[in-house]
Amino acid sequence: MPLIAATGSPLLTGAGTHAGETGKHNEDRFAVRFFRTLEGEPVTLAVVCDGIGGNRAGEVAAELAVEAIVTTVAEADDVNYRPVLTAAVARATAAITERSNTSLDFRGMGTTCAIALMIGQRLYLGYVGDSRLYVLRRGRLRQVSVDHTWLQAALDNKIIAPEEARGHPNAHVLLQYINDRVKAKPDFRLRLPDDVSTEESESNQGLRLEPGEAVLVCSDGLSDVVPHDEIEAQLLALSPQRAVDELIAQARNAGGPDNITAIVLRVPG
């Protein structure tokens, strides 16, 4: 039996997007959807996709991916996150591949995706690309996703030092994203300490958030230009929607070089 659509969530939520300040078309897409299980447990889904491709193909890819992910979760017989999110990304890949075959304008298009699935107060996530997931926990903000970029791989393999990372020309060379050529699989690492194995990071799935703690899902148009400590400060000080609005405003004031999208889910209290 699929999940049951709900009109709201016990979580406090906020979401928004902006094209940025460079005249670039907005190729970000997002969704926040609410469900409940047959047993009545609330399920909240948050998705951010950042499209890739010219001729406005990026926005098409992002829209297809969001629709595929939302539909797959809505149709899930249960909330076992790993097969559900794996199937969601596979469905997004199939939709993008099918559309790309209809026109040369769509060839090579793709999208990143970051997915947060809150089942009650437990966090499950999956992601592909460099759209990010953060957790505000015990008063501190931590990036819990791992960027699928050349730069992150170089840092992880100690090819470059952390002080060389800022402004590096390969910062946004993507190693993985959802596209019509390679069947991407979601990354399930929920990284709390930075120096743990993949297995240990994946074992953090189902992290229970306490009252006042929050999840941020965002595109790189936010995380690239608003400093980590400023994101933390706004999430601590403001309600989810006000925090989203303020963070988007700060990204715009910093030049808004890219599309900006953010979703915040907070446990009340």
Which residues constitute the domain of residue 205? 4-266
CB contact at 8 A, 217 and 133? yes
* Residue 169, helix vs strand vs coil: coil
Interatomic CA distance for residues 63 and 183, integer angstroms = 18
For residue 78, how many other CB atoms are within 10 A of its CB? 12
Residue 158 pLDDT: 81
pLDDT along the chain (269 residues), means of 10: 92 98 95 95 98 89 98 92 97 96 90 98 98 97 95 83 76 89 93 85 96 98 96 98 98 97 97
Half-sphere exposure of residue 75: CA atoms within 13 angstroms, side-chain side: 11
- Total domain count, the chain: 1
CB distance 211 to 268 below 8 Å: yes
Predicted local distance difference test score (pLDDT) of residue 170: 77
Look at residue 41 in the predicted model and tell me its pLDDT. Answer: 95
Closest CA to 50 of 23, 31, 29, 74: 29
Secondary structure of 97-137 as H, E, C letters? HHHHCCCHHHCCCEECEEEEEEECCEEEEEEECCCEEEEEE
Say what the pTM is.
0.96
Q: What is the pLDDT of residue 104?
A: 87
Lookup: tokens for 227: 């400093």
- Exposure pattern of 133-172 as b/e (b: 16+ CB <10 Å)? bbbbbeeebbbbbbbbbbbeebbeeeeeeeeeeeeeeebe
CATH of the domain at 63: 3.60.40.10
